[in-house]
Structure 1
Amino acid sequence: MIQQEGPGWRLARDPQRHPYGALIGGETWAVELTESEAGALASLIQDLVDHHAALRGQLMDEELITLELERTPWWGSLEGDREGWSLQMILRPEDGCERGVEVFWPAPAAAAVAAAMRTLWDLSTDQLN
């Protein structure tokens, strides 16, 4: 198992744990996710961060931006300015599962958790064992 955490966020990943091999958390909350849900979340967050980076140079200092992206089973939003942003994510599975989740990381925890997710989900399952 690999665990990472910082002020306002935490992540854990253990693919040997079924069905919930991942844990994400904020200051006062945590939720377990399947490997598939966690991988899709990491991909969605990375795309939002990449979009923000591409637009950053076009933003005025005082200008705010909201980016939204939907990719089943997640909907996500990045809100902020040139320098900092928050993340809000909603899990809405379509497989008949009753479980739904809404998560939020404020700035600067959002940038830290996004970087940690990129690293953690880039690792292969063999590297985690």
Structure 2
Amino acid sequence: MDSSTSTRQVKEGDGWRLGWNPASEPFVGLVGGAGWAMELTREEWQDFCRLVLQLAETLEQMSHELMDEERICCDVESDRLWLEAEGYPHAYELHIILRQGRRAEGTWAAEAVPGLVQASQTLHLF
């Protein structure tokens, strides 16, 4: 589902939700999963989008080195947030922890991650 106006955008799928509202400073971004959500500052949002893609690309590259039944755990971080992928390169849970100011954490199920990764790259609004 997609909802958008000239300023506010929300994208959601099964087990994930992303939002952007530049008029809602300081928390312009929103990430959420099944039963949870957290607002992000502009800088946290930028880090999230960059790190989600970096993690997905890393797992794709590593998939060529692993056997099908091998599980993996890989993390990326900035000074603002930390992301961890855990599972198989083609099906992994994604964990997020905010590291500055207010603290928050959440997890997306493996089924939600492909849509989340794709949507995070379509909301280039920063």
> TM-score w.r.t. structure 2 length?
0.88
Is the Cα contact below 8 Å between 2:29 and 2:42 reproduced in 1? yes
Letter in 1 for 2:56: V
- Which runs of 4 or more aligned residues in structure 1 lie more than 4 Å from their structure 2 counterparts after TM superposition? none
Q: Which one of 11, 21, 26 corresponds to residue 18 of structure 2?
A: 11
- Residues 80-112 of structure 1: CA deviation (Å, up to 9, x unaligned): 11321110011111xxx2x01111101110121
Map of 2:113 onto structure 1: 110
Report whether the alignment pairs 1:119 with 2:122: yes
Give the alignment's Cα RMSD to 1 decimal. 1.2
Contact 1:48 1:69 in 2 (8 A): yes
1:60-99 equivalent positions in 2, closer than 5 A: 60-93=67-100, 97=101, 99=102
Alignment of 1:14-29 (within 5 A): 14-29=21-36
- Structure holding more helix per residue: 1
Gap regions ≥5 residues in structure 1: none
Distance 2:10 2:79 in 1: 26
**8 A Cα contact 1:85 1:111, kept in partner:** no
How many residues align? The count is: 119
- Aligned letter for 2:37? A
Contact 2:60-2:90 at 8 Å conserved across structures: no
Distance 1:4 1:14 in 2: 12
- Alpha-carbon distance in 1 for matches of 2:18, 2:69: 32
* 1:7 Cα offset (Å): 0.7
Shift of 1:70: 2.1
